[in-house]
């Protein structure tokens, strides 16, 4: 992918689809990227080629601050007045557990009375949701970071974790019963149950409180017990 070009320094020379990057005005703090067209439009007495998310105030053609662009690089099915391939930097939803596709990030501008404007440019979006199969349309959120974090939490139980945590990275909360394992050069120990006691140098205890003479290298959360 090529580098971003400052629109204020150099504009695309011809009409057509381009990828845009600009700060969000609808959800301040985010950078939004999307595909939209440069198209010929009237601007006072003349016609100019300008991005579809421009704004004519009656005197001048205005664009949001900080617009950057690059070539789309390939074909796009984004319509002449549409917006496509909307993404928010730092927001990367994981694949849907039902259809195994990465869901599409959608958004709209929400007015103070709660109604949504679906024709707004993605940089104006103030309400966000994800769509893939009919099983997995999410509620709407003001910030897509929250949206993706909540969704990941919700779908995580569908994929059992088998991730052992290195004790050198992080210890479990004090007195939480966990499964531990010692990965050794010649022999391994475990897995067995243990807990930590908060002692900096010798943190591990057996479940009865006695000091554990094996130093685990890894630990794992105990699954929630069955209820039926
Ligand atoms: Zn799905």
Distance from residue 100's CA to the centre of ligand 1 (Å): 6
CA-to-CA distance for 83 and 1, rounded, in angstroms? 19
Task: Write out pLDDT tens, residues 167-214.
Answer: 999 999 999 999 999 998 888 888 899 999 988 888 999 999 899 989
Distance from residue 13's CA to the centre of ligand 1 (Å): 39
Q: Is the pTM of this model over 0.75?
A: no
Task: Write out pLDDT tens, residues 79-108.
Answer: 888 999 999 999 988 888 888 888 889 999
Q: Please enumerate in sequence order all residues whose Cβ is within 8 A of that of 26, keeping only pairs 6 or more positions apart, or say none.
A: 107, 109, 120, 123, 124, 125, 126
Helix (H, G, I), strand (E, B) or coil at 66: coil
Neighbours of ion ligand 1 (CB under 5 A): 96, 98-99, 132-133, 136
Distance from residue 158's CA to the centre of ligand 1 (Å): 13
Closest CA to 120 of 81, 77, 70: 81
CA-to-CA distance for 19 and 84, rounded, in angstroms? 9
Distance from residue 194's CA to the centre of ligand 1 (Å): 39
Distance from residue 134's CA to the centre of ligand 1 (Å): 7
Q: Give residue limits of the domains in the chain.
A: 1-159, 165-221
């Amino acid at each position: 992918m090529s580098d971003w070009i400052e629109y204020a320094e150099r504009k695309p020379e011809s009409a057509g689809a381009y990828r845009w990057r600009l700060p969000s005005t609808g959800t301040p703090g985010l950078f939004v990227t999307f595909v939209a067209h440069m198209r010929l439009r009237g601007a006072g007495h003349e016609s100019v080629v300008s991005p579809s998310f421009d704004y004519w105030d009656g005197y001048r053609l205005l664009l949001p601050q900080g617009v950057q662009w690059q070539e789309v690089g390939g074909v796009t099915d984004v319509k002449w007045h549409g917006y496509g391939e909307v993404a928010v930097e730092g927001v990367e939803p994981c694949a849907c557990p039902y259809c195994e596709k990465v869901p599409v990030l959608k958004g709209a501008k929400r007015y103070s009375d709660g109604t949504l404007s679906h024709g707004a440019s993605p940089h104006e979006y103030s309400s966000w949701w994800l769509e893939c199969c009919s099983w997995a349309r999410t509620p709407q959120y003001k910030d897509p970071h929250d949206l993706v974090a909540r969704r990941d939490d919700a779908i995580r139980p569908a994929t059992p974790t088998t991730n052992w945590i290195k004790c050198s990275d992080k210890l479990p909360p004090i007195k939480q019963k966990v499964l531990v394992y010692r990965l050794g050069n010649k022999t391994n120990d475990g897995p067995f149950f243990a807990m930590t006691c908060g002692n900096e140098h010798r943190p591990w205890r057996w479940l009865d409180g006695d000091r554990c003479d094996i130093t685990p290298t890894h630990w794992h959360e105990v699954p929630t017990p069955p209820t039926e």
